[in-house]
Amino acid sequence: MKRSYRDMQVVVVGAGGTGLALCTYFCQRGARVLLSDRRQAAAIAGLAPLVAAGVELDLGGHATARFVAADLVVISPGVPLDVPALIAAAAAGVPVLGEIEIAARDCTAPLVAITGTNGKSTTTTVMGEIFAAWGKTTFVGGNLGTPLIEATKRDDWDWIVAEISSFQLEAIDQFHPRYGLLLNLTEDHLDRYPDMAAYVAAKLRIFERMTADDVAILNAEDPLVLSATAAIAPRRVYFSSRRLLPEGIGFDGTALVWRHAGREVRFAAAELQLRGTHNLENVMAALLPPLLAGCPAALAWQTACAFAGLEHRMRVVRVLDGVTWYNDSKGTNVGSVVKSLAGLNRPVTLIAGGKDKGGDYLPLAPLIKEKVTTLVLIGQATDRIAAALGHLTTTRRAASLEEAVQLAREVTPAGGSVLLSPGCSSFDMFSGYVERGEVFTRAVLALPARGEEGR
């Protein structure tokens, strides 16, 4: 049965897509809704239908008195808990919860929640397609795109597969997945968290309400994942890209090997369209919950092999004059760039930069020295990246992404690659990684072939 919020005063914080969906959700359940955002109305799309439905607006800031007087405050992903109005509400005893907490309370289908620093979107998408191919009615969303609150519009889901960020996990209470996946842990979002320990602690909240009847899917080759999950309650099942495992999924150099309850099934890695060790790990993680739930192994593998990859994640834009251009705009942290560079051969022109997230760029140093012949820097983080890595290779600066594409064209020889893998968020120059990837793609596709310039 759907939860009622009749006559409750609910403050929704953040007027992005998730916040607007939350307003609709609470209105349909009888709440009196106030939508609060630090932006003015002119900068927010989609307000008119909500106002017509009775939603009040608190724009241009956050009215602390309204927060303190509320029965419930619900924050959109990305809204930090240190907003003064939120601190005041919590101090007054008002529950401050996140969207995934509200959504999960209304969902009765088993929930698979996927977190980690990198690979979440690929793992979530592949897993959702496996469940769907198995004939299961499956919601796929969360941080990936469709807000989890949208899953509450139906009650016939067989499975809910959700990508979950550390930001979303900050404001949970009873959030309880059947399967919780922690893919990997590397530095990220240190512009939000005081240190790496705080970031890891946020990620670990995914297991907070899980019990011995639930399953944690973990990367056996990530030392930080192993140490951080040593005391969690759920049963642990592992995947490894370096060795075979007595239980779980391992890799022998040519095949993924699934071992469970005395059975062994082998999958030829060469059959996958996805390439790279990181994608092997993503596929292993995506396979485990469906396989453990009884999905036929051959069907699961066939579906994984049919997946060609996500937009803006190591996608080939074109091959021009012998140079391969890759759009990896979704590579928003250093760990992601490391994985992308590892799959390429020298010479690589790397376009990097954007809004700095406070992490350490030095893990890129070995690959910069080994593979990158030219580093082209854009955005707010230019100076920090140049200070850390600029001495390792030829380094150029560009005022725009379009200029960076032109520079890359000039310096990259036939047989080389140009990789847009920023290692930073996009919000200094773009609305998000999607727009950044689209701008890059348009600029690359507009390049003329050699000999056609000026025609």
CATH of the domain at 156: 3.40.1190.10
Residues 175 and 193 in one domain: yes
d(CA 71, CA 12): 11
Give the residue numbers spanning the domain of 61.
Answer: 9-94
Evaluate whether residue 4 is within a structural domain.
Answer: no
State which residues of the chain have pLDDT below 70: 1, 451-455
Q: DSSP character for 417?
A: E
Q: What is the pLDDT of residue 454?
A: 54
CB 189 within 8 A of CB 153: no
Residues 149 and 287 in one domain: yes
Q: The pTM is what?
A: 0.84
d(CA 104, CA 74): 13
Q: What is the pLDDT of residue 453?
A: 60
Evaluate whether residue 135 is within a structural domain.
Answer: yes
Residues 302 and 319 in one domain: no
Residues 386 and 299 in one domain: no
Evaluate whether residue 455 is within a structural domain.
Answer: no
Q: What is the pLDDT of residue 368?
A: 97
| Beta partners for residue 376, in sequence order | 351, 396
Residues 237 and 349 in one domain: no
Q: Sheet containing 235-239: which strands, arranged edge to edge? A: 138-142, 159-163, 111-115, 179-182, 215-219, 235-239, 248-251, 255-260, 263-268
Residues 337 and 440 in one domain: yes
Q: What is the pLDDT of residue 278?
A: 86
d(CA 231, CA 220): 15
Residues 105 and 90 in one domain: no
Count of domains for the chain: 3
Residues 36 and 184 in one domain: no
Q: DSSP character for 409?
A: H
- The CATH number for 89's domain is 3.40.50.720
Evaluate whether residue 242 is within a structural domain.
Answer: yes
Instruction: Tell me which residues are annotated as active site.
Output: 120, 143, 189
- Token pair, residue 36, equals 């609060």
Evaluate whether residue 23 is within a structural domain.
Answer: yes
Residues 78 and 127 in one domain: no
Q: DSSP character for 449?
A: P
- Token pair, residue 383, equals 């100076």
Residues 421 and 355 in one domain: yes
CB 140 within 8 A of CB 125: yes
- The CATH number for 374's domain is 3.90.190.20
Q: What is the pLDDT of residue 1?
A: 53
